[in-house]
Amino acid sequence: MVFKLPAFRRVRGMRDFLPKEAQMMKYIEGKARKTAQLYGYGEIITPVLESYELLAAKAGEEIRSRMYAFEDLGGRKVALRPEFTASVARLVATTLRNEPKPLRMFSVGSLYRYDEPQQGRFREFWQSNYELMGSSKPEADAETIILTNRLMKAVGLKNFVFRVGHVGVLRGILGQEKVQDKVQNGIMQLMDKRRFDDALRLVEEAGVSEKGLMTIQKLVEIKGGKIFEVLQSMEKQVKDHERAFHSVRNLEEILKLVSEDGQKIHMTVEAGFARGLEYYTGMIFEIHVPEMSISLCGGGRYDRLIEMFGGEPTPAVGVAHGLDRIMMAMQKQKTLLKTEEGKTVMVIPIEEELKGEALKISWILRNADIAVEVEVMGRKMTKALEDADRRKMHYAVIVGDRELKEEAVVVRNLRRREQKTVKIEKIVEEIRG
């Protein structure tokens, strides 16, 4: 008797991808990889497990508190990566320390956050991630936006908007007002969650001057799609705050370049826009679609992380695209996958003794890059044909003694329901059409 275990369920927040979904995921991954290649980003593969300290350093409270962290058997505190950026920064601070800049690096893979599972929020999810290290110029920032736009178009999304901001605007004012970094982080976290009233209360409690508070209050209301008008209003608001003023100017330069790219990119600028990660120092952005309330992608400039990890001071900017959410948006916007459907063939021996011959024929077809399934259930020909039909295969190759004597097989076109005897040396030609 077999000892039976209880039926296992998936761990909460984890998912299985069946062939159709896996195909879509791989399709998006393929487009991301192609985009990386078109922009000169070399692919790197970093470990799923990293030291907790590295990942926690500047992740921001939101992500830090949701890490899958544990002690390994050697007593090291480790965690499953919640993002790629820390790993890439570690590499640039160590192994790639002396590499000439700029360095463009691409990664794709799974990440882990103990988020509350809901629409578009999973505990295991996928990103394509691009980091551009070594340039502080606006053209580097612009590149991350432009390549993201290309990827969104390449997967077939029609309706998406970039939400753009600059952390230097609010942090510039708060810094000038001598608000400590830790308090600033708390304020930015609340801003990220759009809890503006709570954020403003914290600003007030931090002892910011009346004028500073008023400026921030006004700033959080400045936003819109006429981006250069919005930038002008921001500039007016912060004219007495030097760092904030430079930040607005920097954003203006970046978005001017993006607009000059020749692509019509739909953008909105928000002065009070913040993102959960603490390492950002400059321009930040996300992508949104009208069908969903969560972001598809997120990125921005982080000029101090590599130095913090012991590397040379290295300006950097990057972006990560959430593949699961892109997939959801594609389904909602009814995007068609532009895949080339190859011919599929089932090879059926009509007698037990011809199994070996069926394998030989399959070998010939696969050598010609044709996908073949060999009958393995020992079914009668009619049953196997019914199955091939049900699974919408294109051809069946029926291997029988009589035809083999003539060095031939029967090729049945399952779509047209026609069949003919074909010499083995001609089957590839016959099936390719």
Q: Which H or E run includes 42?
A: strand 42-43
Q: Using the rule CB under 6 A, which residue among 165, 322, 349, 400 binds ligand HAM?
A: 322
Tell me which stretch binds ligand HAM (CB under 6 A): 124-132, 235-243, 351-359, 392-400. 124-132
Residue in 235, 275, 276 with CA at minimum distance from that of residue 255: 235
Dist CA 361 CA 375 (whole Å): 12
Q: Is 122 an interacting residue with respect to ligand HAM (CB under 6 A)?
A: yes
Site map 324..343 versus ligand HAM, x via CB under 6 A: xx------------------
Which residue's beta carbon is nearest to the bound ligand HAM? 322
For the bound state, the minimum distance from the C-beta of residue 333 to ligand HAM, rounded and expressed in Å, comes to 16
Distance of CA 326 to the CA centre of its chain: 8
Dist CA 309 CA 12 (whole Å): 34
Tell me which stretch binds ligand HAM (CB under 6 A): 69-77, 193-201, 256-264, 313-321. 313-321
For the bound state, the minimum distance from the C-beta of residue 353 to ligand HAM, rounded and expressed in Å, comes to 53
Q: Is 143 an interacting residue with respect to ligand HAM (CB under 6 A)?
A: no
Q: Is 131 an interacting residue with respect to ligand HAM (CB under 6 A)?
A: yes
Q: Using the rule CB under 6 A, which residue among 46, 295, 335, 413 binds ligand HAM?
A: 295
Q: Using the rule CB under 6 A, which residue among 15, 33, 101, 121 binds ligand HAM?
A: 121
Q: Is 320 an interacting residue with respect to ligand HAM (CB under 6 A)?
A: yes
Q: Which amino acid is at 330?
A: M
Q: Which is nearer to ligand HAM, 179 or 190 (CB)?
A: 190
Q: How far lies 302's CA from each of 103, 167, 287, in Å?
A: 15, 10, 19
How many other C-beta atoms lie within 10 A of the C-beta of residue 12?
Answer: 9
Tokens 């070594």 belong to 134
Q: Is 300 an interacting residue with respect to ligand HAM (CB under 6 A)?
A: yes
Q: Is 177 an interacting residue with respect to ligand HAM (CB under 6 A)?
A: no
Q: Is 254 an interacting residue with respect to ligand HAM (CB under 6 A)?
A: no
Q: Which H or E run includes 22?
A: helix 19-38
Question: Where do the H-state alpha helices sit in 283-409?
Answer: 305-308, 323-332, 355-367, 381-390, 401-405
Q: Using the rule CB under 6 A, which residue among 106, 125, 309, 395 binds ligand HAM?
A: 125
Q: Which amino acid is at 61?
A: E
Dist CA 142 CA 146 (whole Å): 6
Q: Is 212 an interacting residue with respect to ligand HAM (CB under 6 A)?
A: no
- Ramachandran class of 421: left when φ > 0, alpha when ψ lies in -120 to 50, beta otherwise: beta
Which residues lie near ligand HAM (CB under 6 A)? 83-85, 113, 115, 120-122, 125, 127, 129, 131, 277, 295-300, 318-320, 322, 324-325
